[in-house]
Amino acid sequence: MSRKYHVAIVGATGAVGIEMIRTLEKRNFPVSKLTLLASARSVGKQLSYLGQPVVVQELLDDSFAGVEIALFSAGASISRKFAPFAVQAGAVVVDNSSAFRMDADVPLVVPEVNAGDIKNHRGIIANPNCTTAITLMALNPLHQAFGVKRIFAATYQAVSGTGAQAIEELRAQVGDIVAGQAPQSKVYPHQIAFNVLPHVDSFLDTGYTREEMKMQNEGRRILHLPDFKASVTCVRVPVYRAHSVAVNAEFEKPVSVEKAREVLSLSPGLKLVDDPVNNKYPLPLRCAGHDDCEVGRIRIDCALENGLAFWVAGDQLLKGAALNAVQIAELI
């Protein structure tokens, strides 16, 4: 790529925004100018890009003059309000929020799965939910081999999935408990340190949460599989970074562990770590800070027809957000 692009990051001071800056650096993205945008609270704050300070500006309607690629990660309401201004100014938006994921006009993309959908964009491309992206990194190669019908899954989601304030809450609670003091909970409804919360996102009338339904709803769009079914329980765990998912998947065709391992080992962005006898399996701690997701614990599911059980882990700030967004920008 010889041409360079004026890139803006909306939500640059957040957990995802910071990783977007690091990912642009790491992947040597051709940036001619980097505009960092956040709320009025962050105006004047300096962040570093390639060793140079970049001053954060307030996100305003007219922030996008000259911007060619705008990476949004400041929440759905901000995306809904400001992405149209970016598109109007001529930028292509890659949006990390849930704002546009189910819009028929907006491609929802995991580059390793459905890069071809990008060509249909009309100015906005959506990044999927982080747990969905990580799960599909392992599920799609198996789907290509065996044809997936439905999955049952339980997630183990890190606090950084909630953002910078949640990372701080876990840190503060651990400190308080170790010091013998009562921990304070502001971000989560219960103590997250030394606990697990079967509650991610808001509850629907069905009893599922919005986060839980994203796997089915977004999975159908990304896999181009309108009948795909996913019954998921999303759980927040006291891990700083990287989500894990226990998946039980039922397929159309007969499955084998050998074939599953073969297709997974050949998949880009995925590492097969599956030697349980020697205590080798995917670990969120090892995935943290790394681009590749890990898959392992692959076995024939003893309760499903043509079923496989597996465990997949990945850094949701990277593959579930910043890395996936920058990969999309590279494809644009």
**Given the rule CB under 6 A, which residues bind ligand NAP?**
11-17, 38-39, 41-42, 59, 73-76, 78, 96-97, 130, 160-161, 163-165, 316-317, 320-321
Report whether 230 contacts 150 (CB < 8 A). Answer: yes
Active site residue 243: yes
Nearer residue to ligand NAP within complex by CB, 78 or 313: 78
- Residue entry with tokens 């073969």: 262
| Identity of the residue numbered 139 | L
As measured in angstroms, the least distance from the Cβ of 267 to ligand NAP is 21
Nearer residue to ligand NAP within complex by CB, 149 or 236: 236
Instruction: List the 148-156 sheet strands across, edge first.
Output: 229-233, 148-156, 243-251, 307-314, 293-300, 270-272
How many CB atoms within 10 Å of residue 7?
25
Question: Could you say which of 6, 121, 143, 243 is catalytic?
Answer: 243
Nearer residue to ligand NAP within complex by CB, 7 or 78: 78
How many CB atoms within 10 Å of residue 141?
22
As measured in angstroms, the least distance from the Cβ of 16 to ligand NAP is 4
As measured in angstroms, the least distance from the Cβ of 256 to ligand NAP is 34
Q: From residue 326, how far is each of 3, 52, 271, 281, 330 by CA, in Å?
A: 16, 20, 20, 28, 6
User: Is the four-CA dihedral 241, 138, 155, 274 of positive or negative sign?
Assistant: negative
Q: Which residues contact 242 (CB under 8 A, 6 or more apart)?
A: 158, 284, 285, 287, 288, 313, 314, 315, 316
Chain centre to alpha carbon of residue 149: 23
> Hey, which residues does 125 pair with through a beta bridge?
94
Nearer residue to ligand NAP within complex by CB, 14 or 307: 14
Nearer residue to ligand NAP within complex by CB, 14 or 111: 14
Residue nearest to ligand NAP (CB): 14
As measured in angstroms, the least distance from the Cβ of 29 to ligand NAP is 19
As measured in angstroms, the least distance from the Cβ of 271 to ligand NAP is 20
Tell which residue, 47, 49, 46, 20, has the closest CA to residue 33.
49
Nearer residue to ligand NAP within complex by CB, 37 or 139: 37
DSSP conformation class of 58:
E
> Hey, which residues does 296 pair with through a beta bridge?
311
As measured in angstroms, the least distance from the Cβ of 161 to ligand NAP is 4
Question: Could you say which of 130, 234, 287, 293 is catalytic?
Answer: 130
Catalytic amino acids?
Answer: 130, 243
